Structure 1
Amino acid sequence: MGSLSKLLPYTCHELGHPWNHSCFSSSAEVGIIGFIESCKIYGVVYLASECLWNTAVGYGYVKPIPRGEILVFAGSMAVLGYNFRSSKPLSRLINSLLQLLLGCGESGAMIVARKTTSPRKLQGLQPKPQPWLFRRVMSLFTNSHLLCPHRGGCLPNFFVMGVRGFFQGFLMQFSVKLLSSASRFIRHPGKLLDLFFNRNNFNAGLFLAWFISVFKGTCCAGRWWHGKEEASHGAVAGVLSAFAMYFYSAPSLALYMMWKVLECVYEKGCDEGYLPRIPGSVELLYSISTGYLFHVAVMEMHYMKPSYWRFLLRLTWGRLQDYNRHLLTPFGMDSARGLNGIWPKYDLKHVSESVRKMIPNPIVMKL
């Protein structure tokens, strides 16, 4: 935290750890706090990439893409949808999550099982003396394809899955908000009704309704069109289902899926001998990402999502907000944006005269 003090005319106490003038004590304190919090928070959902994009947009290096998270999510779901319907999925974790949402019927293992039994059924099928188009349309309402895992017509199943997905998404979002603010609603029960009819609940319901029904419906359409099961149907279904993010924007989820796909593809390439396995590559990636995340938190915290900022504050027990970003302003940095002249609380016996003169008033305040 005090590395900039070696380049700037300030001590590390003045710049990096105002709460304690001892470098050793401050480092040990933050290290212990970080270890304790890391034991409780066992996973960081690839925060280092969204901050990088926001920083690049802020400096004008790239142009913002409206609803760009949909494109990221669609690309990731194309790969995951294909592998979900193949016999050997890339990631067991992602495969289990997709099975939880979509059921086992569209998974690769169930497709292989259906392929072994379907030829007998197809042999006993006799054509009916009706026009092809009429027969096909009526089948969508009254029957399912011989390879479909569901009962009843494909169109009724499409609508049933949509309704079920809506209520699942609605209740999931409502439950999360309710549990995270339970104490507030105990004190004010009247606000529970406002929470129930919150717009985010409906958006989450629409997200899951679209995701489940469109994925399953696209797989059904692929079976009717080609007359057989194909893993490529999952790729198309993944792309179309990803447009569910239009209703419920979740850039963190899209980025997590993207990095998870890249990680799984790399591991797959290494296992099959197409890519070299670099020793310590995972540790190096996490180290670089964590380092950049803390760099943004110190130098350009305005490009960081509030949820990420709260995560880092929790990780350091609030010590990160004591970094004196005002001292970077004379060097052309906008690190103190939004701090409104609030300075950390110093022990003035350990502060140089030049820094003491910069403090706006004699009554110093803690951030």
Structure 2
Amino acid sequence: MVTAQSLCMVTAVYLSMVTVAVCLCMVTAVYLCMVTAASPWLMCECASRARGGWWRDARGRRPGAAGSLNGSNPAPVSQREEEGGGRDLYSTKPPPPRTPPPPPAPPPPRPYLNMAAHSKAIPHSCYEIGHTWNPSCLTSYLQITRSALEESFKIYAPLYLIAAILRRRKLDYYIHRLLPELLRSTSFLTTNGSLYIAFFCILRKILGRFYFWTPGFGAALPASYVAILIERKSRRGMLTLYMANQATETLFRMGVTRGYIKPIRHGEVLLFCMTTALFMFYFRCKDGLQGFAFTALKFIMGKEEIPAHSLVPETVYANNEQNLKRRVESSRRLNLIALTKKLMDRICKDGPRHRCCKHYEDNCISYCIKGFIRMFSVGYLIQCCLRIPSIIRYMFTKPSQMLSLFYNKESLQLGAFLGSFVSIYKGTSCFLRWVRNLDDELHALIAGFLAGLSMMFYKSTAISMYLASKMVETLYFKGIDAGKLPYFPHADSIIYAVSTAVCFHAAVLEVHNLRPSYWKFLLRLTQGRFRFMNRKVLDVFGSQASKNFGNFVPKLDPRYTVVKPELPIEFS
């Protein structure tokens, strides 16, 4: 006897087969289009080679040439030699010996692997290397402090205000807590920038010269540690995670540049797949995730994927059906909107839905489609909102530019990324429930990994690295709670200081290995003074410090220099 469960199972399998067949047809169509587009080029190439002598007869001569099989007059020996590859094809003389090709030239030495260059020291002063815009250390320190203070306040003022509005803070917070927290974060960022230039000059005066580690890592390490102690403890973990992400990516780029690491194609997508698999597994487990991570995934995936949503799904589904019938019977006025809603409810409910699935208002197919539409809209609107500040200036000068706010490739890519992530995860979870006839937390590992492939629409190393760092932090704290990993006090401050020092070191000696967004942030914090460092002199350390700066050499006052400057300031 055929049961409803078996019919639903067959329907689900049939839909899966149809989906695979449609995908194969699309791939075949794309391949045929590529071949069709390339066919005229191949025909022209074959014709041109035939006219240029690519085709030859059995004796090695071009068709139609003199002396060939279809020619009338035999060609002379010199012409036969020319056509036959440099010698007479009818001659019995041995071919001349061929000279072997010269051996390939050895690869040029890598400047990064020169340890002797890293051990060098340069006698230049801090004015010649660092604050080239002013010979006074104190004046330069005050200028950096002023610019850092202005930019820090511009960064944190809207950030704290928007966060307070989104969290629905009460009036008491705006009166007593908003300004102190804002000033504390502003002081933290200002101190980080100003103390860097201070320790830059102090190390030069103590050591008497510059070494490979002093202009970047050595000056930024104590400055960053002192600065993070000013910030509130509740924000230190977030700042540490952000800077650890930046430093990890910077070290990875350094390893690739030096040849220590070979990058993997689509590596950010693979990292995202593994990270989302773990995140979704802990999301499905009871007490697996807490705080912001759980709230964010609940918003993205919906409450249907929460493990404690329902323990008796059939009972809840029956109650929902009864409530729906009561609402339909009580509604006497059936206008167009009500009919449309009734039709949509009927379409969404009529279809395969496994007994373990918790989406009681939809079948499995409409559940995936609704998830895609919802998150596609969210991603599209987020990207449009991010583009508003850059488009609003064209509102009166070029109104046509306003259309690019809605017709933008990045907006569609972000929407496709979020929409496909949710739909793939939900579809895979439903499919595994049909196959195994149960709901298991291990399904989230497979579904999360496959959903990570959606990053092919919106590749982002920053997102992958941030989520990976967040997962490492989550696993570490779980190990501490289980008593298997030790707890290190002030570890967040130390990690922040080391990570920031690595990024500053790259900003001084290897700007090409630093994330461009962070380099722009440093330029904004110092009002462009970071680019005025004399990186031409720092090339002696073998890190190609001036690679992205061309032949820039600052003009220096020879009265305050140790080494004669290349471009001295001329006094009238």
TM surpasses 0.5: yes
Q: Which amino acid counterpart does residue 506 of structure 2 have in structure 1?
A: V
Q: Distance in 1 between matches of 2:494 and 2:279?
A: 25
Equivalent residue number for residue 289 of structure 1: 499
Equivalent residue number for residue 356 of structure 2: 147
> Within the alignment, does 1:178 sit opposite 2:388 as a pair?
yes
Q: Distance in 1 between matches of 2:354 and 2:395?
A: 49
Equivalent residue number for residue 52 of structure 1: 251
> Within the alignment, does 1:310 sit opposite 2:520 as a pair?
yes
Q: CA RMSD in A?
A: 2.9
Q: Which amino acid counterpart does residue 523 of structure 2 have in structure 1?
A: L
Per the TM alignment, residue 49 of structure 1 is displaced from its structure 2 partner at its CA by: 1.4
Equivalent residue number for residue 140 of structure 2: 26
Equivalent residue number for residue 127 of structure 1: none
> Within the alignment, does 1:76 sit opposite 2:275 as a pair?
yes
Aligned equivalent of 2:313, options 118, 121, 125: 118
Equivalent residue number for residue 87 of structure 2: none
> Within the alignment, does 1:350 sit opposite 2:535 as a pair?
no
Cα separation, partners in 2 of 1:323 and 1:91, compared to 1, 3 Å: farther
Contact 1:121 1:146 in 2 (8 A): no
Q: Distance in 2 between matches of 1:277 and 1:84?
A: 24
Equivalent residue number for residue 270 of structure 1: 480
Q: Choose 298-307 or 29-38, whichever is displaced more.
A: 29-38
Q: Which amino acid counterpart does residue 215 of structure 1 have in structure 2?
A: Y
Q: TM-score, normalised by structure 2?
A: 0.55
Cα separation, partners in 2 of 1:318 and 1:156, compared to 1, 3 Å: same
Per the TM alignment, residue 186 of structure 1 is displaced from its structure 2 partner at its CA by: 4.4
Q: Deviations over 1:294-327 (max 9, x none)?
A: 1011101012232121112223332321221011
Q: Deviations over 1:279-300 (max 9, x none)?
A: 2211111111100001011101
The higher radius of gyration belongs to 2
Per the TM alignment, residue 329 of structure 1 is displaced from its structure 2 partner at its CA by: 2.4
Q: Between the two proteins, what is the percent identity of the paired residues?
A: 31
Q: Distance in 1 between matches of 2:298 and 2:315?
A: 27
Aligned equivalent of 1:234, options 444, 469, 494: 444
Cα separation, partners in 2 of 1:93 and 1:344, compared to 1, 3 Å: farther
Contact 1:171 1:201 in 2 (8 A): yes
Q: Distance in 1 between matches of 2:394 and 2:559?
A: 43
Q: Distance in 1 between matches of 2:473 and 2:531?
A: 33
Equivalent residue number for residue 455 of structure 2: 245
Contact 1:141 1:155 in 2 (8 A): no
Q: TM-score, normalised by structure 1?
A: 0.83
Equivalent residue number for residue 66 of structure 1: 265
Unaligned 5+ runs, structure 1: 124-138
Contact 2:417 2:458 in 1 (8 A): yes
Q: Distance in 2 between matches of 1:14 and 1:217?
A: 62
Q: Choose 225-234 or 28-37, whichever is displaced more.
A: 28-37
Unaligned 5+ runs, structure 2: 1-117, 157-184, 186-238, 319-347
Contact 1:167 1:205 in 2 (8 A): yes
Contact 1:90 1:265 in 2 (8 A): no
Equivalent residue number for residue 300 of structure 1: 510
Equivalent residue number for residue 223 of structure 1: 433
Q: Distance in 2 between matches of 1:165 and 1:291?
A: 38
Q: Which amino acid counterpart does residue 302 of structure 2 have in structure 1?
A: G
Q: Which amino acid counterpart does residue 190 of structure 1 have in structure 2?
A: S
Q: Distance in 2 between matches of 1:240 and 1:141?
A: 27
Cα separation, partners in 2 of 1:142 and 1:293, compared to 1, 3 Å: same
Q: Which amino acid counterpart does residue 85 of structure 1 have in structure 2?
A: R
Q: Between Structure 1 and Structure 2, how many residues are aligned?
A: 339
Structure number with greater CO (CA < 8 Å, separation at least 6) is: 1
Aligned equivalent of 1:187, options 393, 397, 405: 397
Q: Which amino acid counterpart does residue 517 of structure 2 have in structure 1?
A: S
Cα separation, partners in 2 of 1:339 and 1:264, compared to 1, 3 Å: same
